[in-house]
Structure 1
Amino acid sequence: MTREEKSRVIEDLTAQLADTNVVYIADISNLNAETTSNLRRACFKAGIQLNVVKNTLLEKAMEASSNDYGDLPSILKGNTSIMIAENGNAPAKIIKEFRKKSDKPILKGAYIHQAVFIGDNQLDALIALKSKEEVIGEIIGLLQSPAKNVISALKSGGGKIAGIVKTLSER
């Protein structure tokens, strides 16, 4: 690669990193062609962009980015691929699914909404993360619950009061 090509790749990577808040770094080396194709297909279906990158170029793109990637550049050794997604736990679910059949991909680290996760042992914690939509749905459910209780109490209470007034008026 010439310097000009490298600088173009760094600019492209920097733009990709700036446009997203979810970046997973994984090792997919030693996967055969069929498994790699299946992984790429699964990522595409889940809306995840999977790219194999050079460590030095990714490190320079991380440095040029406005995001703080913490210690992530220190894990850029060996073969590296990045998974860029909108949903914070989607890449972790894909990795976990593929690990049932193979020992790869191995999670090196992840950057999710300004939080940095390093190591393959973080995979279960990343799977447990809830998406923005799930959290909003839970909050709305929690907010609706007291209002529903008040309305149902008023409806049932109205019947009781009417019954008591009717009984008292008959006496």
Structure 2
Amino acid sequence: MDRAQKQEAIETLKGVFSSSGAVVVTHYLGLTVAEMTDLRGRLREQGAQLKVVKNTLAQKALGDQAGDGVTTLFKGPVAIAFAPDPVSAAKVATQYAKDNDKFSVVGGLMGEQVLDKASVTALASLPSLDQLRGKLIGLIQAPATRIAGILQAPAGQLARVMNAYATKDAA
């Protein structure tokens, strides 16, 4: 890799670190190509990506942004999982680490904060952005449906009373 390619890779990684909600740092030693392809497919379904990175290039891309905690994350064969949504990459990576003992979550980065393995696991247990949006819409719609039911109740009662008088007179 020549100097221009390294500079381009550093700029790409800077873009990844700045635009991602969270970056999950993982070790993948011993994974086969089929297992890596499976992991990439699972991440892609959730809108996330997996990228194998060189440790020195990742540290240069981060610079002094995250401090000394970054150097402990980027040791050994490292791949980063990232997505605009902070939760999706962490969920898939944590679940895959549970299913496959060759793959492990080392930690992560969220903005300028360095996350340890426990923090990434806690992040993975949070609901995704789409799930939160669904819950919020459900909470907003619930009072509206109750109000509509309350407003319709008197009209329905009046209709039942009129029907009762009509059937009483007919009988």
TM-score w.r.t. structure 1 length? Answer: 0.74
Identity %: 29
From 109, 116, 121, the counterpart of 1:119: 116
Aligned to 2:13: 13
Deviation of 1:27 (Å): 0.9
Shift of 1:121: 2.7
In structure 2, the CA distance between the partners of 1:161 and 1:46, relative to structure 1 (3 Å rule), is: closer
- The correspondence of residues 1-171 of structure 1 with structure 2, limited to 5 A, is 1-63=1-63, 69=66, 73-74=70-71, 75-112=73-110, 114=111, 116=113, 118-160=115-157, 163=161
Name structure 1 gaps, 5 residues minimum.
none
Q: Does the Cα contact within 8 Å between 1:23 and 1:83 map onto a contact in 2? A: yes
Write the distance in 2 (CA, Å) between the matches of 1:95 and 1:133: 18
Superposed CA offset, 1:94-130 (max 9, x none): 3244334421321122234x48462333344222222
Aligned AA for 1:148?
T
Structure 1: distance between partners of 2:59 and 2:114: 16
Unaligned runs of 5+ in 2: 166-171
Separation in 2, partners of 1:150, 1:3: 66
Question: Using a 3 Å threshold, how does the CA distance of structure 1 residues 142 and 31 change in structure 2: closer, same or farther?
Answer: same
Counterpart residue identity of residue 47, structure 2: G
Match of 1:8, SS state, is helix
Superposed CA RMSD in Å reads 3.0
Contact persistence 2:22–2:108 (CA under 8 A):
yes
Instruction: Number of aligned residue pairs: give it.
Output: 162
- How far is the alpha carbon of 1:28 from its aligned partner? 0.8
Return the alpha-carbon distance in structure 2 between the equivalents of residues 72 and 135 of structure 1. 31
